[in-house]
Each structure stands twice: as C-alpha cells, then as structure tokens.
Chains A and B, each alone.
Chain A
C-alpha cells in the first residue's frame, strides 16, 4: 500500500463506518456506474466473448495444473536472456531481495510501476526502512500515496476520490498555491506529469509488478494506460519485477486471449494503450540489469485447495469490483486489504490467516454479478460458500467455537429441520408466541441479533395457517 497498512477490522465494522461517507458513496456510484456500462458495451460487441472467457478459464486451469513446471521454464528463459531470477517464499523474503538490490545500487529513490503485489507485501514501507523512497508513478497510485492512504480499487486505487479532493492533495504535496491549479482533469494530469518527470530522469532503479510472464520466452508483461509504467521499465539502469507465481503463462499464444480479455474487462478499452514486454536485458537498450522476484506468499497454499484454486486465475481486471453492489456502497478500504471487492473477499482470507479476513467471505449477498463478468469465469459465489465453510470449521476448532450463539442456533435449526414433526411444532410455537410482537400482521421489533433486521425493515407475522396446514385441511 502506498501509505499506511490497512487496519485489521471485521468487515461489518469497517463497512458501517464507510457507509456514513456520502462523498465516498457518490464518487463510487459514479465511477463504477460509468465503467460498468462501458464494459458491458465493449464486451457485448464481441461475438466470441463467451468463447474467449472459456478459453481464458481453460488456459488458467491448465497453467495451474502444471504451475511448477512453467515456473522452472520461466526461470530458465529469463536467465538465458540475461535476467536474474529470485524465489521468495513470503513478503519478508521478497522485500529483502528488492531492498538489497536497491541499496546495492546505491539508490535513494526507486520509481514504481503500479503493482498491487508490491502493495500486498508492503514493499514501500520496507524500502523506506532502508532509507529508500519509493515513488508511485501511476497517477491514481500517486494520489493515494500522497494521501497516505491504501489503495481502494485494483485498477483505480483512488476511485474513492473526486477531482476536487485530488486538487487539494496536489496543492499540498507539490507546494502549489491555489491559483496555480484548478480541478480540471487536464491540469491535474499536467501537474502530476511535471512532478513525476523529474523523478523518472533521476531514478536509477525501478520496481514493477507483472500482469503476465511468458514461460517459453521469459517475457514479462505490464499492461497500463498512462505510459508512466513504460518510463519505469525503460529509463532506469536496473529493473526489478515482483510477480506472484500465478501470473506465469505457458506460451505467447496465450497472450492472444488475455490481451483481449483484460482491457475490455478492466478499462473497457478495445485495445490496451501501453502493453510492455521485456525479455531479460539487451546491451545498450533499456535497463542493463533485470531481476525477477517470484513471490509465493500463500499462493501455493491456495493452489493446494482444489475447491478454491481458481482464485489464482484472477488477472486483476477489477470487473467484479465494478459490478459489485456491496463494493459500490462500502468502497475498497472496508475490505482491509489491497485486494478489495469480490475477488478480495475470496483471495484475502486465503493469503492471510486472521479472524478479520475470515469475515470477508460473508461480505456478499451471493448475487453472482461478479461471476457473470469475470473474464476467466472464476465462480466467486461458489468459492465464497466454500470459504464460509472453512471459516466455520476453523471457528469450531477453536476452544470457544462450539459455544457461539450462532453455532448453537444452526445446530438447533438442523435438529428441528431434519424431522418434520419437530419443525411443525416450532412453526406452531412461533405463531403462538409472536403475540405481543405482531400487530396488523406485521412485526416491527425483534429482540437481540434479529433486531438488526427490524432496525430498518418490518417482518410479516406468522399467518394463521401454514401452507401445510392449509394443504391438509383441503382434503
């Protein structure tokens, strides 16, 4: 994250706070609504869109089935072309590798291509601790870095901010007077360009993530819209790429599919503006040292779970965030992770073992809008259900797990519902005991936990006859 680690809070608590922010709601509704319509238009015009999605899904599934082999091939290809490959088991190892290279180069500053993976491992903070300043060069990433906030969206880290808020940030960070900068997007972009250009020219080391890496040729790919990423991957002497191990693709041929799926799903563009590929190093052209850090950080654990493995298929397009009715209301920060929205709700609890992260699979109505748009057809609702199951299993394995009120209620419900006589008795009991609560066929107040329902909604009272009573009396 560009500034400050996301706080570890239960989703419902963080969401409650976010829901009070009317500016956030307006910014998000506008931004996600616009991108949602555009995406629908540019995918709808493709006659073979569904076939492409299926091809993307298969390519990813086949890659994951032989991930080890593809990674070893990638290492060989990159090495053969003059690159250096490093393997990092976790965030600490990856950060140490990058830090040592940067410090070894004598760098006080590194310029960065937008990379969520480096946010995931907290690279900027690790570099800062070694006296190296990381400068985010993606416009939206720069905005959240200047705001000392974590990213709130996979593609548009500053989606929660509008241009007036961005202007204020720039005024302060760039030392401008109010008369020097308006909130016109063109002026804001120009200010960022001036700010960044200086830094591009003096940077000796750049850090990037990777959208893809082709095993057969050792070619690493970054897909971006601004060209700032390309500045980073071409100008500095040394380039370090931190890449999650799931980003490898076996062949060039696969890029045909992904370079169609990704831009249309993410920015709703027919073709991506800046698609950079580099294969090792070439004397006299571009960086003269290239390091590829292959990061696990929990990914092989995800791979081991057959029911959740497809989480690793994600190509980080963010289409699922843009269509998610929960995300549109609470924003990215409520997820307490650099991976927000539906994909974050399944990825974060698998990468991070924490009680707060375990609330994320429950942060969904299972409406399925995410699955419908996913370019590689990740069945997010199914994985959410699976992870809910794992969260409950984990809680039950803890000393107090079996004594939670919910657990008791669920066990009681199962006991009642497996035997029709018991179920009918409970129906009659509910009807008989609703007396004081029900008025004119409506219940407007319920005690305790159920009061969360009646806080904003009525509930119908149990009618005089259940369906089954009516059915029996018919005969």
Chain B
C-alpha cells in the first residue's frame, strides 16, 4: 500500500519533527510514502473562525491535491477530523455536486496516524523504545470527532521502557480551540491552567498527544512556566528506538 502524507500547515512550519517521526514509523512498517507537494492547509482556521467561503476554497484545493491518493495519513486528529466531519457540510453548502462527490469518495481514505496504525494496519507494537515517564492528553478531536477510543493508549502500551501515567481529567479540553485561544484568551488561559496543573500532578517528563495544536497550547504554558516538562507528538514516541532514540525538537542544546 502506498500512503500519501498530509502534513498540516502548522505541523509543516512549526512542528516538522512530528511529520518526520510519522515518516520514520511508517517506513519502518514498510510503507512507500509520497508527499503531494501542492498541499497547504485543510481550511481549519477559516472554518473555525466562520469564514466558510474561504474554507470551501481550501477544501476544494485539498480534494484536488489528494484526489489521486489511495490512502492519506496525517499526524493531526484535528485536521483529519475537519476533513471527515466538516468537508461534507462545506461541499453541500457550495451546491457543487462534483465537490460533494469528490469529498464523499475522499473521506474514507483519510486517516489520523494513530488510528491508521490500530484500526487500518492493525498494529499496536511498532518496535518503539522510549524509556521515559509520559502522560497522554486525549485531544478532544481524537476522542469526540474521530472517536479513536483507546488507540493512543494501546500504542503507548506497546512501547518498551515507557511508563505511562494517567492524566487526571484527561478528557477535558486544554483550552486551545484555534482562534478561541486569542479571541477568548482569558478563558483559554483559565482552562489551560487546569490542564497544566493536572499534567504537573502526574510527575511526567513528557505530555503526549495526537495533535500538535493542543501540544502547542499546553507546551506553550509549560515552557513559559519553566516547568521542565516537554510535549511530544505520539508519532515521536513511536519513532524512538533503541538504535535511534528520538530527540525531541530543542531537547538538545
């Protein structure tokens, strides 16, 4: 099976190591990968902010870029969730029957990385080694839009050397919410302060999630507070092996 990588714009720009880690894991599993170079953004920012016309333009672009791909895998539950959950509405609103059709055929072929491993490939052991204490933030869009269930937990359980500590109130939102984080910055900060308190209570070295967006938020506060706890994408944990331990972005001087 050939896989097309969908690397969302902010992962591409700010968190490329999550994308690289996903590549490492998928290649270790023997997949041939391609990266359709026309890809940009799924339109999440625009949908989130109410700019549906612009979002539809980006959805159209996405469908064109990935139209020829058999299977699309992305390291973001949130962006995959948008494609699977909102594109249908956008296409319908546009009144463009061809777009509706294209979206319908594309949706089942787009997968979030972790869910792809557990539900499509059917693996939970990817040969990873990560001798650290971690806690898992079950991001809202993983949990409630994609309904990944305990897929990330099972993947982490398959990692040698890891110690996974349960995060109190794990299912509660971290307060990111896209433009919510700036539009309602105070409420967002209040939510984030609870999340950070819960993370610190676990004594973990790393907070892991299937979404760099939540991690950017949680990690931003941990960094500001010099908490000494880092964030890591699920793919980065799974990419780490005994032969090549994964070093998170910026973890070394």
| Distance A413 CA – B37 CA, assembled complex (angstroms) | 18
| Distance A354 CA – B213 CA, assembled complex (angstroms) | 32
Q: Which residues of B contact A418 (CB under 8 A)?
A: 40, 57-58, 61
Selected interface stretch from B109-117, B126-134, B153-161, B218-226: B218-226
Selected interface stretch from A11-19, A66-74, A207-215: A11-19
| Distance A19 CA – B187 CA, assembled complex (angstroms) | 7
Selected interface stretch from B4-12, B98-106, B203-211: B4-12
**Contact among A15, A456, A466 for B13, CB-based, below 8 A:** A466
Mark each residue of chain A from 36 to 64: 1 if its CB lies under 8 Å from any CB of chain B, else 0. 00000000000000000000000000000
Q: Which residues of B contact A364 (CB under 8 A)?
A: 177, 180
Interface members, chain B 135-155 (any A CB < 8 Å): 140-141, 143-145
Cβ-defined contact, B52 with A463, below 8 A = no
Distance of B103 from chain A, by nearest CB (Å): 16
Interface members, chain A 425-460 (any B CB < 8 Å): 427, 430, 440-442, 444, 449-450, 452-453, 455-460
Cβ-defined contact, B182 with A450, below 8 A = yes
Cβ-defined contact, A16 with B37, below 8 A = no
Tell whether B162 is near chain A: CB-to-CB under 8 Å.
no
Complex: chain A residue closest to B18, CB-CB: A467
Mark each residue of chain B from 87 to 105: 1 if its CB lies under 8 Å from any CB of chain A, else 0. 0010000000000000000
Cβ-defined contact, A414 with B46, below 8 A = yes
Tell whether A391 is near chain B: CB-to-CB under 8 Å.
yes
Tell whether A366 is near chain B: CB-to-CB under 8 Å.
yes
**SS class of chain A's interface: helix, strand, loop or mixed?**
helix
Number of interface residues of A (CB under 8 A): 64
Cβ-defined contact, B140 with A410, below 8 A = no
- Supposing A362-B180, A392-B51 touch, asked if A413 and B46 sit within 8 A by C-beta, the answer is yes
Tell whether B50 is near chain A: CB-to-CB under 8 Å.
yes
Mark each residue of chain A from 358 to 375: 1 if its CB lies under 8 Å from any CB of chain B, else 0. 000111111111011000
| Distance A444 CA – B225 CA, assembled complex (angstroms) | 11
**Contact among A366, A414, A468 for B48, CB-based, below 8 A:** A366
| Distance A184 CA – B149 CA, assembled complex (angstroms) | 43
Tell whether A193 is near chain B: CB-to-CB under 8 Å.
no
Q: Which residues of A contact B188 (CB under 8 A)?
A: 365
Mark each residue of chain B from 165 to 203: 1 if its CB lies under 8 Å from any CB of chain A, else 0. 000000111011111111111111111101000000000
Cβ-defined contact, A406 with B49, below 8 A = yes
Cβ-defined contact, A414 with B58, below 8 A = yes
Q: Which residues of B contact A15 (CB under 8 A)?
A: 184, 186-187
| Distance A325 CA – B177 CA, assembled complex (angstroms) | 12
Interface members, chain A 292-329 (any B CB < 8 Å): 307, 325-326, 329
Q: Which residues of B pack against A, CB within 8 Å? A: 5, 7, 9, 11-17, 19-20, 23, 35, 37-41, 43, 45-52, 54, 57-58, 61, 85-86, 89, 140-141, 143-145, 171-173, 175-192, 194, 216-217, 219-221, 223-224, 249-250
Q: Which residues of A pack against B, CB within 8 Å? A: 11-12, 15-16, 19, 307, 325-326, 329-330, 361-369, 371-372, 382, 385-386, 388-392, 406, 410-411, 413-414, 416-420, 423, 427, 430, 440-442, 444, 449-450, 452-453, 455-460, 462-463, 465-468, 470-471
In the complex, 5 of the A-B residue pairs with CB atoms within 8 angstroms, ordered by the A residue number, are A365-B176, A385-B47, A390-B50, A427-B12, A468-B35
